Chain A
Amino acid sequence: DSGVTQTPKHLITATGQRVTLRCSPRSGDLSVYWYQQSLDQGLQFLIQYYNGEERAKGNILERFSAQQFPDLHSELNLSSLELGDSALYFCASSVSVSGRGETQYFGPGTRLLVL
């Protein structure tokens, strides 16, 4: 158990809908990262937050947004869903943003299926 929790575990929805994925980082970790794992794109970095502020953006679509709340939990919002958004979405956390070999701890993921 990494100490990172994600809900829900599974999500099935229809095209055009909007969903919210939730992540609680490990106790004491200030940085949260979101990654998408799909068969065709592999594991891709989406976005990072540190202590409530956005720090880095990767290949995140404009239909997707995220935020980190004062209690440090984070939510990833996916809207106008398309079939191609079906994937496993991981949240990871780390203590800071040094990037200097800092370990990221991954949650179990949310599996999204868009029908």
Chain B
Amino acid sequence: GNSVTQMEGPVTLSEEAFLTINCTYTATGYPSLFWYVQYPGEGLQLLLKATKADDKGSNKGFEATYRKETTSFHLEKGSVQVSDSAVYFCALSGESQGGKLIFGQGTELSVKP
């Protein structure tokens, strides 16, 4: 079945450091890919998404590119801020599956001043 694997956390970075959170997936066909973010005590918010190969999703300085050849959707940001501290979830929505999301295990990011 479909699945998502994320790098384990926690990830601790200093402010202005470069961030990469790895995400790989297993799915048949052409799933849609998402990054959601969960701030402490809150629900999940969509950060960015991509629906076809080579698409790049971007938002708030974060980027991720849908790589079909490596089945990956790595999240990057050039310069993190303390306010980026949160848990990041990679997810996919498979074709013909009605939109349900399959999530990775989440990666906790802590940014220190």
| Residue in B42, B102, B104 whose CB lies within 8 Å of A108 | B42
In the assembled complex, A103 has its CB within 8 A of some CB on chain B: yes
Whether the Cβ atoms of B100 and A56 lie closer than 8 Å is yes
In the assembled complex, B96 has its CB within 8 A of some CB on chain A: yes
- Residue of B whose beta carbon sits closest to that of A98: B99
Interface size on A, residues (CB 8 A): 31
CB-CB contacts of B25-65 with A at 8 A, as 1s and 0s?
A: 00000001000100000111110011100000000000000
A54 and B97 CA atoms in complex are apart in Å by 13
In the assembled complex, B72 has its CB within 8 A of some CB on chain A: no
Least CB distance, B90 to chain A, in whole angstroms:
11
| Residue in B42, B43, B46 whose CB lies within 8 Å of A103 | B46
In the assembled complex, B7 has its CB within 8 A of some CB on chain A: no
Chain B interface size range: 20 to 34
In the assembled complex, B19 has its CB within 8 A of some CB on chain A: no
In the assembled complex, B113 has its CB within 8 A of some CB on chain A: no
A55 and B99 CA atoms in complex are apart in Å by 10
Contacts of B43 in A (CB 8 A): 2, 4, 90, 106-109
Contacts of A55 in B (CB 8 A): 98
In the assembled complex, A45 has its CB within 8 A of some CB on chain B: yes
Least CB distance, A20 to chain B, in whole angstroms:
19
A62 and B51 CA atoms in complex are apart in Å by 34
Whether the Cβ atoms of B106 and A42 lie closer than 8 Å is yes
Near B by CB (< 8 A), chain A positions 28-72 give 31, 33, 35, 42-45, 48, 50, 55-56, 58
A107 and B93 CA atoms in complex are apart in Å by 19
Whether the Cβ atoms of B101 and A104 lie closer than 8 Å is yes
In the assembled complex, A94 has its CB within 8 A of some CB on chain B: yes
6 smallest beta-carbon distances between A and B, as pairs: A101-B51, A99-B99, A101-B32, A106-B43, A43-B103, A106-B44
Residues of A at the B interface (CB closer than 8 Å) are 2, 4, 31, 33, 35, 42-45, 48, 50, 55-56, 58, 90, 92, 94, 96-109
Residues of B at the A interface (CB closer than 8 Å) are 32, 36, 42-46, 49-51, 89, 93-106
